[in-house]
Amino acid sequence: MPNRWGIPKHVEEAVRARDTQCVYCGISFLQTEFSNKTRPTWEHIVNDIRINGVDNIALCCGSCNASKGNKILAEWLKSNYCLKKGITLKTVASVVKAHIRESH
């Protein structure tokens, strides 16, 4: 999992310690073998690479990352992917919920 976005080391370490599961679908990162879908990937909750703090950086699985892409969080939560996986504002990690609250 190379740190391609210049995320500060202390942020990276804090996020790795906090996000032991996908912040969106909740799949565990504590297993030892990953597929492209289940591997942890770096996620900017707000799609702005300049926001590099622990509040915007999170780990989500490859599957959620691929689905979310550049979509705005609130819009993505209405997508078929989230509907199918049962991902809602109530099920996401608190770091994600904080962003939803801020945007309203």
Shortest distance, position 77 Cβ to Zn ion, whole Å = 13
Contact 27, 89 (CB under 8 A): no
DSSP state at residue 103: T
Pick from 22, 45, 77, 93: which binds Zn ion (CB under 5 A)? 22
Q: Which stretch binds Zn ion (CB under 5 A): 5-13, 43-51, 62-70, 93-101?
A: 62-70
* 64 touches Zn ion by CB under 5 A: yes
The DSSP secondary structure of 4-48, one letter per residue, reads TT---HHHHHHHHHH-SB-TTT--BS-SS---TTTSEEEEESSS-
61 sits near Zn ion (criterion: CB under 5 A) = yes
Q: Check binding of 25 to Zn ion (CB under 5 A).
A: yes
The answer to whether 46 and 84 are in contact (CB under 8 A) is no
* Least distance to Zn ion, CB of residue 64, Å: 3
Q: Which residues bind Zn ion (CB under 5 A)?
A: 22, 24-25, 61, 64
